[in-house]
Amino acid sequence: MIPSDLHYTKEHEWVRVEGDVATVGITQHAADQLGDIVFVELPEPGKRLEQFATFGVVESVKAVSDLFVPVAGEVIESNAALLATPEVVNGDPYGSGWLLRVRLSDPAQLDKLLDAAAYEALTAED
């Protein structure tokens, strides 16, 4: 099920905003499409990202995919646990499989993202 409280990109990232902290991950749909995820490459804290900039890559056994940040901001934290256990992204993409936390710089950017209904419609086309 697609969580209703998140915002989504067309490239299958989600973002959850709590105060000025935005937590970013990939959707269950994306994780399923990629298959067994074996490696995640994430940026160092302090890096500044523009909205929709690539911030890393996620690798499965036979595919590699860019990661796009849904909102601009400075990286607070990357999910270091994924280095040892990337499979968590497959198992719990909206929870412990989160990828990145950024300091939200412009909440208005959320308006450029999809809500759950629009994202669900997008994935239905696949």
Is the CB of 63 or the CB of 117 nearer to other proteins? Answer: 63
Nearest distance from C-beta of residue 38 to other proteins, angstroms? 4
H/E segment holding residue 84:
helix 81-84
CA 88 to chain centre: 13
Residues that bind other proteins (CB under 8 A): 36, 38-39, 41, 59-64, 84-87
Structure tokens at 118: 């629009």
Instruction: Report how far residue 124's alpha carbon sits from residue 108's, in angstroms, rounded to the nearest whole number.
Output: 27
Nearest distance from C-beta of residue 86 to other proteins, angstroms? 6
Nearest distance from C-beta of residue 61 to other proteins, angstroms? 5
Is the CB of 30 or the CB of 71 nearer to other proteins? Answer: 30
Is the CB of 39 or the CB of 112 nearer to other proteins? Answer: 39
Separation of first and last alpha carbons in the chain: 16
Is the CB of 63 or the CB of 121 nearer to other proteins? Answer: 63
Nearest distance from C-beta of residue 11 to other proteins, angstroms? 16
Instruction: Report how far residue 44's alpha carbon sits from residue 20's, in angstroms, rounded to the nearest whole number.
Output: 19
Instruction: Report how far residue 105's alpha carbon sits from residue 68's, in angstroms, rounded to the nearest whole number.
Output: 16
Q: Name residue 36's amino acid.
A: D
